[in-house]
């Protein structure tokens, strides 16, 4: 069970802060509980604090600088009432919310700041306030606890479809699948300054790491023996912080239930966002939840329903693409096609002056440098039937070489919530047992059917 709970906390890039007594969540009435729902909700957080870490430990773990004494990672795990499904919801740390305090009007700030104001109790109360859900159990972990847990499991498997390098976290991975120790896994889940930058990309990597570790625990049958689960749960309580309402028997029950779930019955999703950079004086850059989609997410959990497939949480737009077309630079050797691509949102330039006197037979060809597959896929979605060629040494801009076939340009849809945070199940998210890397995003934009209207440009 110790392994399981720490696996759920694997996304945490944090250090344990001071702890003088168990949290009594709502026991004194100071943090009123929300209305009860169905199923069980476990809030897993990690604290960004360097308290208790030596200079050598900070260097070894690449956690220099000053901690914010805040929750750096937050996951709400919902276990269905029938114990047949688990939903893991990542709540981005920069989410702008009203804190659950008695002061009126309630002060607002990033959700990770609730911990500094009121530690675990206020963190739980704030999550309950903004989601409308009851939090049944609370778990907290840190940098060193995370590292020790991964090492105790024999390391972790991480995968990436592109090279990842982040000086801040110390991450330096080539494309492919890697077996890493606890320190390497910590770098993987903490990195923010990599392609796809920011919290959503990091959160997806955290979800993948949790999914893969849970898959390993199931395949190794770590969670199927009640006796060993109980012994591990008692060990867990010596190193992982919990609230006063969470006993060893709660951990055994939760661990046994999660151990019986197949990856296809464990879903991962990130709270939908409407604004990714709302600047708030005195607070900084924040994330604003998408009102309708976030509300639909919490309603689904309150009603004990799966999130994946819920079109209110995750619409199914036509022609969904992996990259923002405005960031895709394209040179086109036909003026009308260039104009149509600009109308579709691409950064397209007219290079018709360089067009050959006799065009090559067939459909248009998209030429791009290796590593620009997502850009090429985005452009190909707008140009149905186009061929793609990866050309070593090709420049940053993609080239469209129009052939003799008529060219159709159709509108595309870019939705960052779906591309980076769509609800996916563990069997499609993780890299263990996958035929290839990059599976965390593979299914997200392929679901967009070709339903949008096309623009023929001849």
How is the chain split into domains, by residue range?
A: 2-302, 315-458
Helix axes 439-446, 199-219, angle to 10 degrees: 110
CB 407 within 8 A of CB 388: no
Return d(Cα 379, Cα 341) in angstroms, integer: 9
Would you put residue 7 in left (φ > 0), alpha (ψ -120 to 50) or beta? alpha
Domain covering 2-302 in this structure, CATH number: 3.40.630.190
Position 140 scores a pLDDT of: 84
Would you put residue 285 in left (φ > 0), alpha (ψ -120 to 50) or beta? beta
- Nearest 10 degrees: Cα torsion 10, 147, 125, 252: 70
Lookup: tokens for 264: 């296809």
Return d(Cα 351, Cα 383) in angstroms, integer: 17
- Can you give 161-220 as a three-state secondary structure string? CCCEEECCCCEEECCEEEEECHHHHHHHHHCCCCCCCCHHHHHHHHHHHHHHHHHHHHHC
CB 10 within 8 A of CB 213: yes
Position 251 scores a pLDDT of: 73
pLDDT tens for the chain, residues 1 to 458: 444 444 444 333 222 222 223 333 333 333 333 344 589 999 998 877 666 677 777 777 777 666 678 888 899 999 999 999 999 999 999 999 999 998 888 899 999 999 999 999 999 999 999 999 999 999 887 777 677 667 766 777 888 877 888 877 888 888 888 888 888 888 888 877 776 656 788 888 888 888 887 777 676 666 666 776 676 566 656 666 777 787 777 777 877 777 788 889 999 999 999 999 999 999 999 999 999 999 999 999 999 999 999 999 999 899 999 999 999 999 999 999 999 999 999 999 999 998 999 999 999 999 999 989 999 999 999 999 999 999 999 999 999 999 999 999 999 999 999 988 999 998 888 675 443 333 334 334 443 333 334 455 65
Helix axes 182-190, 143-152, angle to 10 degrees: 130
Position 393 scores a pLDDT of: 95
CB 400 within 8 A of CB 407: no
Position 197 scores a pLDDT of: 59
Eight-class DSSP state of 369: -
Give phi and psi for 222, each to the nearest 5.
-70, -30
Position 233 scores a pLDDT of: 65
Position 417 scores a pLDDT of: 92
């Amino acid at each position: 069970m110790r392994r399981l709970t720490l696996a759920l906390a694997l996304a945490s890039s944090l250090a344990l802060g001071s702890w003088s007594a168990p949290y009594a969540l709502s026991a004194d009435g100071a943090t009123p509980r929300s209305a009860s729902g169905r199923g069980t909700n476990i809030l897993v957080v990690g604290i960004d604090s360097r308290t208790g870490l030596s200079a050598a430990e900070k260097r070894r773990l690449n956690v220099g600088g000053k901690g914010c004494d805040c929750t750096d990672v937050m996951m709400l795990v919902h276990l269905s009432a029938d114990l047949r499904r688990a939903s893991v919801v990542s709540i981005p740390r920069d989410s702008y919310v009203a804190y659950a305090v008695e002061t009126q009007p309630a002060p607002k700030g990033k959700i990770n700041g609730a911990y500094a104001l009121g530690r675990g109790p206020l963190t739980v109360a704030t999550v309950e306030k903004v989601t409308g859900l009851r939090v049944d159990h609370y778990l907290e972990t840190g940098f060193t606890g995370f590292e020790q847990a991964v090492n105790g499991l024999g390391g972790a498997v991480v995968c990436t479809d592109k090279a990842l390098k982040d000086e801040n976290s110390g991450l330096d991975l080539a494309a492919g699948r890697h077996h890493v120790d606890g320190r390497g896994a910590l770098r993987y889940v903490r990195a923010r300054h990599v392609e796809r930058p920011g919290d959503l990309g990091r959160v997806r990597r955290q979800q993948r790491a949790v999914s893969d570790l849970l898959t390993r625990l199931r395949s190794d049958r770590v969670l199927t023996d009640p006796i060993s689960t109980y012994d591990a749960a008692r060990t867990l309580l010596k190193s992982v912080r919990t609230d006063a309402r969470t006993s060893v028997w709660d951990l055994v029950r939760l661990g046994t239930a999660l151990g019986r779930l197949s990856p296809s019955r464990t879903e991962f999703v990130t709270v939908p966002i409407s604004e990714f950079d709302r600047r708030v004086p005195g607070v900084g850059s924040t994330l604003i939840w998408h009102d309708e989609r976030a509300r639909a997410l919490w309603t689904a959990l309150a009603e004990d329903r799966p999130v994946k497939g819920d079109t209110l949480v995750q619409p199914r737009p036509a022609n969904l693409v992996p990259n923002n077309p405005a960031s895709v630079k394209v040179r086109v050797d036909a003026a009308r096609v260039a104009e149509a691509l600009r109308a579709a949102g691409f950064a397209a330039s007219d290079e018709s002056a360089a067009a050959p006197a006799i065009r090559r037979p067939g459909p248009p060809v998209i030429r791009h440098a290796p590593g620009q597959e997502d850009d090429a896929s985005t452009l190909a979605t707008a140009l149905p039937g186009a061929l793609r060629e990866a050309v070593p040494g090709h420049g940053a801009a993609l080239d469209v070489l129009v052939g003799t076939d008529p060219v159709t340009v159709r509108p595309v849809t870019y939705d960052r919530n779906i591309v980076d945070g769509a609800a996916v199940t563990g069997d499609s998210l993780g890299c263990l047992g996958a035929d290839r890397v990059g599976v965390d995003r593979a299914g997200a934009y392929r679901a967009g059917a070709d339903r949008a209207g096309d623009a023929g440009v001849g």
